Structure formats: structure tokens, C-alpha cells
Amino acid sequence: MTAPGEQPERAVRSYVITKGRARPSRNTINVDTLLVAADPGRPLPVTASREETALVRMCARLLSLAEAAAHLSLPVSLVKVVASDLVDSGHLAARSGIPEAAGPDTQLLQEVLDGLRRLR
């Protein structure tokens, strides 16, 4: 939507941190994506941002992206981009939620129902 001569959008903080990308490179990363450090011993490059370092540390064990964002007091939109880079670089492993196109299958829904009914 950029007309000639138009200025780029105002750079908000998260836009800068995410190196100018407004969206994560993988659309499989969402609020309910489960993240865990792929190999806790594997060092991040020295160029890693504070947010990258903090996210890998937070994901020492399994956690959703939303939880990691909340514990780190970072916006979800930012953490999506950072997490997606770290998955690409092999520092984080992602267990994704339901792919948007497929939708939940009845077996999964049955398991969810059974789980909720146990809470009655």
C-alpha cells in the first residue's frame, strides 16, 4: 500500500527489534505455539538480541508463546517474530497448534471434551 514518495510507517519499537519485519517468517507461529529450547547448551551468536537471549532462556522447558511473552512482559507480536527466527536457526523447537486450514478433527475434539468433563 505504499504510494510513490510516501514515507514508511512510523517505526514502533517492536518493528525495530524485529529488523523491519512486521510478520513472522513462518505462519505456523501463533500465540498457542508451544516452544522449548532445542538444545539448551547451544549458544546463541554474540549478535543475538536481548529478546532472543531472554526467550531462549524462558523456554528452558515447554511453554506456549503467549506465556513466554507474558512472563517476559513483551508484546506477543514481537515474540512471534523473535520465536520464528529462533525456530529457523534451530535454537527453539516449536510444537504447533492446529493448522488454520485443517481445523480440529473429531478425535482431538473428543479428547478436549473428555478432558473438560473430568473437571466437572
Partner 1 sequence: MGSAGSADRYLPDTVQQAVKILVVGAFGVGKTTLVGSVSEIEPLRTEEHITEASAGVDDLAGVGTKHTTTVAMDFGRITLNPRIALYLFGTPGQRRFWDLWEGLAEGALGVLALVDTRRIEDSFDVLEQLELRGLPFAVAVNEFPDSETYEIGEIRSALDLLDETPVVLCDARDPRSSVEALITLVQYVFERAARPAAPQEPAV
> Which positions lie near partner 1, rule CB under 8 A?
3, 6-10, 12, 14, 30-34, 36, 61-64, 66-67, 69-71, 75-77, 95-100, 103-106, 108-120
**How far, in Å, CA of 113 to CA of 1, rounded?**
44
Contact call for residues 51 and 78 (beta carbons, < 8 A): yes
- The three-state secondary structure class of 53 is helix
Minimum distance from CB of 73 to partner 1 (Å)?
8
Minimum distance from CB of 46 to partner 1 (Å)?
27
Minimum distance from CB of 47 to partner 1 (Å)?
25
Closer to partner 1 by CB, 47 or 100: give it.
Answer: 100
Closer to partner 1 by CB, 55 or 69: give it.
Answer: 69
Angle between helical axes of 50-58 and 65-72 (0-180°, round to 10) = 120
Question: Between vectors from CA 51 to CA 31 and to CA 54, what angle results, nearest 5°?
Answer: 90
CA 88 to mean position of chain CA atoms: 11
Minimum distance from CB of 19 to partner 1 (Å)?
17
Closer to partner 1 by CB, 34 or 44: give it.
Answer: 34
